[in-house]
Structures are given as C-alpha cells and as structure tokens.
Structure 1
C-alpha cells in the first residue's frame, strides 16, 4: 500500500467545490480545504506507485478549478 498527501492549488473561490469532488473519488481517504499556499490537502492511498500516479493524473488533475498539484508520498524512515 502506498499513501500520499496531495497538495492542491485552485482557482480563487474553488477550494470547497474541488475538495468535495475529490472526496468522492475511490482511493481518497480525505480531502480538506485549507488556508496557506495550498487550497486543498488530500490524503490518498493506492496499491502501488503506478496506481497512485493514475489516480493523480487521470482523476484528480482533470477536475475543473485545479491549477497545480504536488504529490508527496509517505515514507517509512523507521
């Protein structure tokens, strides 16, 4: 299992709608609108890195209102 945080910038006024739409996608654990340099933070999980990539590119990045994403895979350093 691969987990990642996906940091998303949206067009002005679109954060809540983007978070709600992403929250309905299979593989998304949570999607919340936040303040700061990013507008939405998503926690997602997939069986492997390839599936995670398909989730981000095919499903999340295609949502209207998203201008940029940054995917941060979770690593186990212990």
Structure 2
C-alpha cells in the first residue's frame, strides 16, 4: 500500500470508511465533489478544517484503489 498518512480507517468513524485524518469527511465525499466540478479551493472553503494536502491525498488514494487489481473467486 502506498503511504497514505492522512487516510484513516476507524470502525467508529463513518462506519469504517476511509476518512481524512479520522475526521468525519470521507474520501468518497471529496472525490464526489471533485467529480461534480468543485475545485480544491472551493472544497477548502466548504471544509475550512481540511488542508490542500488532504484533498490531494484523497484523490491519490481513490486512484490507487481504482487501479488495484481484484481477482474474482472461482465458483464451482
């Protein structure tokens, strides 16, 4: 796994989904905003407790997960 030091997993926070620094902002929320056309600057205004590196790492993590190869289990 890459070094995603800002991406945290805690079953008690957002149901264990990957979050930014363990706060209640998920990687999925950030990716969804970017996909909807929000710039990093707009996201940081919406979430003033986030940092530019948080958004960058959320996108890097999502790209890494999307590129991860999954092998289907053989079913008989």
TM-score w.r.t. length of structure 1:
0.30
Larger radius of gyration: 2
Structure with bigger helix share is: 2
Report which of the two has the higher share of strand: 1
TM-score by length of 2: 0.31
Question: Larger relative CO (CA 8 A, sep 6+): 1 or 2?
Answer: 1
